[in-house]
Amino acid sequence: MTTMGIDAGVLSDDDLVRELRQLHATRSETFFHGSDDALATHTSRTDELETEYLRRHPEREIDPMRLREGARQRS
């Protein structure tokens, strides 16, 4: 499946993050109310952008509270 938009590999870091934030903000609306094609495109584009972000930032900051031990501390 092809996605719409600029190839993730050529986006600047700022543009990549902006695109990811926009997709994450619209995910629920697309999931609950979008057509099958819209959902497939949204999923594909999200995967493309997230894969590119992880490629660029393999050592991204991990919030310790988002790990299993952090969840145990919250309980």
Q: What is the pLDDT of residues 11-28, one digit of tens each?
A: 999 999 999 999 999 999
**Minimal CA–CA distance to 13: which of 57, 47, 46, 45?**
57
Q: What is the mean pLDDT of residues 15-44?
A: 97
69 inside domain: no
**Residue 49 falls inside a structural domain:** yes
> 3 pLDDT exceeds 70?
no
- The domain in which residue 27 lies consists of 23-55
Domain-located, residue 74: no
As a whole number of angstroms, the distance between CA 20 and CA 46 comes to: 7
* 16-41 mean pLDDT: 97
**How far is 29 from 32, CA to CA, in rounded Å?**
5
Q: Does residue 6 lie in a domain region?
A: no
Decide if 42 is inside a domain. yes
Contact 30, 38 (CB under 8 A): yes
Number of domains making up the chain: 1
Higher pLDDT, 38 or 4: 38
